[in-house]
Chains A and B, each alone.
Chain A
Amino acid sequence: MRLLNLFKIAYKAIILNKTRTLLTMLGIIIGVASVIAMLAIGEGSKESIRTTISSMGSNMITIRPGADDRGPARGSGGNVQTLTFKDYEKIKEQTTNLISYITPMVNGGGQVINGSNNWPSTIYGVNPEYLNIKVVDLQSGSMFTDTEVNSAAKVALIGQTVVDNVFPDGEEPVGQMIRFNNIPFKVIGVLEEKGENTFGQDQDDVVIAPYTTVQKRILAIDYLNQIVASAISEDDAPEAVIQVTEILRSQHKLLDTEDDDFTVRSMEELISTFSSTSEMLTVLLVAVAGISLLIGGIGIMNIMYVSVKERTKEIGLRMAVGGKGSDILMQFLIEAILISITGGLLGVFLGLGATLFIENFLHWPTSVALYSIVISFAVCAITGIFFGWYPARKAAALDPITALRYE
């Protein structure tokens, strides 16, 4: 009952000063709107990174020779010859509970030639499970078989970029012969177009062949450049990474004091590496937005101060007719909270509007997080209480006699 009356009084005071109230709210409105829009941009970019990485096969686990090369000034892991076919067999044998597909991989650059057309590309030597790991479908033709792997058959599948460049006249590539570094290959399939990955690499600029063929006929090596596997599910990936690491350590007979001479990485790690960059950006954006919210709060405090000063006589009267200090305190506090919450609400709408604008006109990926709305709204209410408290207390502490005589 009493609180309702105080609400009415505060509401009335706000209505009587529409313009000033709106101007006061402006700080809060802009603050909240920017928090929501900034978080939406941050979340959006994080999600888009996740989606692109997932499209490369989110369960994928990559095993490379050489130590972790993430740090600066390390040697290129690709030149180290520690990863062998035996390692591959051991992993395949011992991780059947975690890994669904696994392939050895060797790769090398070279020239793809078809008649007078040629194109620099990369050849990947793999086994038939590769397509399942990379989540690639065939546009035409078929994958090579295990038999063809065992016999080191000279068959290959090519990506769309290669097709475009060595078959520029639009002939059907399947069944044709191409040469890769002067070794003839029969094209038995064309990979479906995948486009660029997050890092701007053209995923269609590839030639896929049995790893045996690439090892023997092109690279003349007996070690592996990579082992690529696919965990049964995304959740299994971290465990698989641990197991693979253990297997390889024992395979390579590493002592406890020795560092790994290989690197095992899951896509999940990659995602988190990239997400952390975008998270940092989000934190910065939110910090800027938070500062504007703070300034908005100070705006409220400023206006509440002016309001208390301006209405000193009114406060005196209210006290004379029976308003208690607590009533006056609540009145001004409610006023401050109403201003900040209304500002917050308008800010939420403005923020959503701004997000829509960014999405539709700037074509940036955005994603409005519910928590950003809840948090900024809560911050508004707290701002109201925090910045309204001091002026309200000042009002409540006024002496009714002095207040009544105030001109």
Chain B
Amino acid sequence: MKKEIIKINDLKRDFTMGTETVHALRGISFGIEEGEFVTIMGSSGSGKSTMLNILGCLDQPTSGTYEIDNVSVKDLSRNELATIRNEKIGFIFQSYNLLARTSAIENVELPLLYNSKVSTEERRERAIKALKMVGLEERMDHTPAQLSGGQQQRVAIARSLVNNPVMILADEATGNLDTRTSYEIMSLFQDLNKKGITITFVTHEPDIAEFSSRTIVLKDGNIIQDYKNDNIQSAAVELAKLPKQDN
């Protein structure tokens, strides 16, 4: 049996809005094994974002347990959570969130700046390696303004890989991209997944789910579906099917 990276048991998250309590998550349980490519789906208000925040150790559950890589997150302090995020999670955002006027390589190095165990030389080496994995080693001195949307997202992916996380957490990572570029990015995710990297992809686009190995669907704070995808589409093949463009 493969190692279980994420263990969630009866997880609840309530928000207090004035006098009213909103139950964003109402007792969710699931696990994610190493090497899985999971999409978490749901419409707005389903608890998707709350789930993402908790998975990303940006927020903590009201009750229930959440373990990442055998570390229970429940009682960790703000600083300890920051260390977990730094060492175990790679974030990818819809709007890339790259530092403006900062070169690609420096953007990729960013998480390692907050890890005092990594020396300057090692930091550079690992950043170059991560940029190679996303095929952008030629453009490491370009700033975000000099890169296309797809390239910016690749830099963001390289940034998420640089700290060798146990899981990559993507939040609508293709939301700002056109179909072609989305497929390119999904194809990159599939390649990374084949290399054994665990990916959790939060999205509301159903076609993205076809590229993943498992889909969890949330509605009103509960899991309504959790199924393995027996017929995983290849993003590379879908990309080839798109009408040719002359750039």
Task: Please list the residues of chain A having a beta carbon within 8 angstroms of any beta carbon in chain B.
Answer: 1-2, 5, 8-9, 12, 16, 313-314, 316-327, 400-401, 404
Q: Is the CB of A313 within 8 A of B97?
A: yes
Contact of A2 among B56, B85, B99, B116 (CB under 8 A): B116
Complex Cα distance, B101 from A321, in Å, reads 19
CA–CA, A324 to B85, complex, Å? 10
Contact B111 A322 (CB under 8 A): yes
Q: Are B79 and A404 in contact (CB under 8 A)?
A: no
Known: A400-B58, A401-B58, A401-B59. Is A321-B116 also a contact (CB below 8 A)? no
Q: How far, in whole Å, are A319 and B163 apart by their CA atoms in the complex?
A: 15
Q: Mark B83-122, 1 if CB is under 8 A from A, else 0.
A: 1011100010100010101100000001101111001000
Shortest Cβ distance from residue A84 to the other chain B in the assembled complex, whole angstroms:
86
Q: Are A321 and B56 in contact (CB under 8 A)?
A: no
Taking CB atoms, residues of chain B closer than 8 Å to A1 are: 116, 119
Q: Which of B53, B83, B101, B102 contacts A322 (CB 8 A)?
A: B83
Q: Do A404 and B78 touch (CB < 8 A)? A: no
**In-complex Cβ contact of B102 among A12, A400, A401 (8 A):** A12
**Which chain A residue shows the least CB distance to B93?**
A404
Query: Is B154 part of the binding interface, using a Cβ–Cβ cutoff of 8 Å?
Result: no
Instruction: Decide yes or no whether B159 CB sits under 8 A from chain A.
Output: yes
Whether B111 and A325, one on each chain, are in contact in the complex, defined by CB atoms closer than 8 angstroms, is no
- B contact residues around A8 at 8 Å (CB): 113
Name the distance in Å between B223's Cβ and chain A's nearest Cβ: 22
* B114 and A323 form a contact (CB under 8 A): yes
Which residue of chain A lies nearest to B86 when distances are taken between CB atoms in the complex? A322
Say whether B56 contacts A320, CB under 8 Å. yes
**Is the CB–CB distance between B78 and A325 below 8 Å?**
yes
Q: Which residue of A lies closest to B118 (CB)?
A: A1
Question: With A12-B102, A313-B97, A318-B110 in contact, is A324–B115 under 8 Å at CB?
Answer: no
Given A5-B114, A404-B97: 20 more A-B contacts, CB < 8 Å: A1-B119, A12-B102, A16-B101, A318-B110, A318-B114, A320-B91, A321-B85, A321-B111, A322-B82, A322-B83, A322-B86, A322-B114, A324-B78, A324-B114, A325-B78, A325-B79, A326-B79, A400-B58, A404-B58, A404-B93
- Give the chain A neighbours of B93 by CB distance below 8 A: 317, 404
B115 touches A322 (CB 8 A): yes
Residues of A within 8 A of B59 (CB): 401
Q: How far apart sit A79 and B56, CA to CA, in the bound complex (Å)?
A: 96
13 CB-based A-B contacts, threshold 8 Å: A5-B113, A5-B114, A12-B102, A314-B99, A316-B97, A318-B110, A322-B87, A322-B114, A324-B78, A324-B114, A325-B82, A326-B79, A404-B93
Q: B110's closest neighbor in chain A, by CB?
A: A321
Within 8 A of A (CB), among B49-86: 53, 56, 58-59, 78-79, 82-83, 85-86
What is the CA–CA distance of A142 and B93 in the complex, to the nearest angstrom? 99
Closest to B159 in A: A321
> B15 → chain A, closest Cβ, in Å?
12
Given the complex, which residues of A lie within 8 Å of B101, measured CB to CB?
16
Closest beta carbon of chain A to B23's beta carbon, Å = 18
A287 to B111, CA, bound (A): 46
CB-nearest residue of chain A to B90 = A321
Q: Roughly how many angstroms separate A1 CA and B111 CA in the complex, as a whole number? A: 14
In the complex, which residues of chain A have a beta carbon less than 8 angstroms from the beta carbon of B91? 320-321
Query: Contact partner of B82 among A314, A317, A324, CB < 8 A?
Result: A324
Closest to A321 in B: B111
Per a CB cutoff under 8 Å, which of B82, B99, B113, B119 touches A319?
B82
- Chain A residues near B114 (CB-CB < 8 A): 5, 318, 321-324, 327
Cross-chain contact of B85 among A5, A9, A12, A322 (Cβ < 8 A): A322
Say how far B144's CB is from chain A's closest CB, in angstroms.
Answer: 12
* Across the A-B interface, the 5 shortest Cβ-Cβ residue pairs: A322-B86, A321-B111, A322-B114, A324-B82, A2-B116
Least CB distance, B165 to chain A, in whole angstroms: 10
Q: Which residue of A lies closest to B96 (CB)?
A: A317
Q: Is the CB of B79 within 8 A of A321?
A: no
Bound-state Cα–Cα, A400 to B58, Å: 7
Complex CA–CA separation, A16 to B59 (angstroms): 32
User: Which chain A residues border B97 with CB–CB below 8 Å?
Assistant: 313, 316-317, 404
- A320: nearest chain-B partner, CB-CB: B91
- Name which residue of chain B comes closest to A16, CB basis: B101
Chain A residue contacts of B110, Cβ below 8 A: 317-318, 321
**Is the pair B58, A324 in contact by a Cβ cutoff of 8 Å?**
no
CB distance from A321 to the nearest CB of B (A): 4
Bound: A375/B114 CA distance, A: 35
B111: chain A residues at CB < 8 Å are 321-322
Residues in B whose Cβ lies below 8 Å from that of A12: 102
Closest to B99 in A: A314
Most chain B CB neighbours (cut-off 10 Å) among A2, A16, A323: A323
Shortest beta-carbon distance from B224 to chain A in Å: 25
Contacts of A401 in B (CB 8 A): 53, 58-59
Q: A9-B113, A16-B101 are in contact. Are A321 and B53 (CB under 8 A)?
A: no
